[in-house]
């Protein structure tokens, strides 16, 4: 089982969703971004950190420092479930292969179906394959 699979399974059992894992080799930092319906509190981060510290010790996973955080207002979107959850929101994405000469797009996520998202950009609907997305993030509402 990979570290990501271990974290995903553990966090799901605790009622949280693993959003992203960052490992910085030079500082041995292990940074974990988690979310749940309604958002993450400091108390959630403390509970997760305490639980994962013990789990990582038992699993003999070498790290120097553990950070647990919410994904922030500009939350990354990775899985199809992420896109389904945030349907109707404004997102910013970077494509691997440009479409109509554009690689960076900002628009409203209108639909998600079988690996295809429909993104409304300047009144036009674009069909984009999830496999062509390099990065996707929510645009914060300020």
50-82, pLDDT tens digit by residue? 999 999 999 999 899 999 999 999 999 999 999
Please report the pLDDT score of residue 100 as a whole number: 85
Same-fold call for 3-69 versus 80-138? no
Residue 125 has pLDDT above 90, yes or no: yes
Mind listing the pLDDT tens digit for each residue in 6-38?
999 999 999 999 999 999 888 899 999 999 988
Please report the pLDDT score of residue 90 as a whole number: 97
For 54-82, b/e burial (b = at least 16 CB within 10 A) is eebeeeeeebeebebbbbeeebebeeeeb
85 CB-contact burial (10 Å; exposed 0-12 / middle 13-18 / buried 19+):
middle
The CATH number fitting domain 3-69, selected from 2.70.98.60, 3.30.300.70, 3.40.440.10, 3.50.50.60:
3.30.300.70
- The residues spanned by each domain of the chain are 3-69, 80-138
Fold exhibited by the domain 80-138:
SH3 type barrels. (2.30.30)
Please report the pLDDT score of residue 26 as a whole number: 83
- Other Cβ atoms less than 10 A from the Cβ of 97: the count is 9
Residue 141 has pLDDT above 90, yes or no: no
**In angstroms, what CA-CA distances link 11 with 33, 46, 76?**
11, 13, 18
- DSSP one-letter code for 76: B
Is 19 within 8 Å of 76 (Cβ atoms)?
A: yes
Does this model's pTM top 0.75? My answer is yes
What are the phi and psi torsion angles at 63 (to 5°)? -155, 160
């Amino acid at each position: 089982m990979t570290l990501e699979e271990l974290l995903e399974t553990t966090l799901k059992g605790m009622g949280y969703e693993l959003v992203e894992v960052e490992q910085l080799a030079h500082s041995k930092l292990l940074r974990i971004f988690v979310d749940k319906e309604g958002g993450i509190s400091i108390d959630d981060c403390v509970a997760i950190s305490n639980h994962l510290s013990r789990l990582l010790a038992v699993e003999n996973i070498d790290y120097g420092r553990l950070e647990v955080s919410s994904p922030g207002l500009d939350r990354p979107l990775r899985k199809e479930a992420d896109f389904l959850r945030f349907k109707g929101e404004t997102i910013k994405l970077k494509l691997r292969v440009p479409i109509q000469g554009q690689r960076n797009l900002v628009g409203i996520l209108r639909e998600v179906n079988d690996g295809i998202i429909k993104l409304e950009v300047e009144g036009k609907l674009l069909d984009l394959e999830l496999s062509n997305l390099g990065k996707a993030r929510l645009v914060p509402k300020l």
